[in-house]
Amino acid sequence: MKSIDKYLFQAMDNYPYCLEETIESLDYALSYDDKNTTALCLYARIQAEQLFNYEEAKNYFQQALGININAIEVYPYYIQTLLANEDFEEAEKLIDFALTIKGINKVEILMKKIQLLEIKKEFKEAKQLLKEMKLAVVNNEYNYYLDDTKARIKGKLELLKPKKEKETKSKKNKKKKGC
């Protein structure tokens, strides 16, 4: 095993519970190889997830992808950072590109796309994508996510139904009860 791997494993093992040790291990890893996409990705995650410094995180993610466009470990976190920073157009383009990369976890990327659609209040499109995603899932790992997201989107669609339709149902229920 290379020394860089040792420090990468230490950093991944420590994150997010011991940030000081994570940073120290990442610094050692990058001193061995400053072009290591896994180390750059974890630095970016710290910037985004712990420090909420999305622009700096984006720089690290872009640096990692500039080194290796096929660094599949980068895409889910980069997309999540773009969503958190409300860079929706950029996130959509990255999602579309990520789905073309061989070996990437397409289900995980589709989850990000559903999240984007939900943020943009495109609930019908999100619901349709959930159906497609259900067909793409090959194990039970994502079933909770699928069911939970489907219920949440259904609830949001209910909120958007016209008010008159809801009032009509209420009046019919009162007439049935004899009020």
**Tens digit of each residue's pLDDT (9 = 90 or more) over 53-111:** 999 999 999 999 999 999 999 999 999 999 999 999 999 999 999 999 999 999 999 99
| pLDDT confidence of residue 137 | 87
Residue linked to tokens 């910037």 = 47
Sequence spans of domains, the chain = 1-104, 121-179
Q: Does domain 1-104 have CATH number 1.25.40.10?
A: yes
Q: Which two tokens stand for residue 133?
A: 């995603």
DSSP 49: I
Per-residue pLDDT tens for 8-18? 999 999 999 99
Residue 165 reports pLDDT greater than 60: no
The whole-model pTM stands at 0.87
pLDDT average, residue stretch 151-173: 77
Give the residue with greater pLDDT, 114 vs 172.
Answer: 114
Q: Decide: residue 7, CB within 10 A, 0-12 exposed, 13-18 middle, 19+ buried.
A: buried
Category of 178 on φ-ψ map: left (φ > 0), alpha (ψ -120 to 50) or beta: left
Helix axes 88-98, 75-84, angle to 10 degrees: 160
Residue linked to tokens 């589709």 = 110
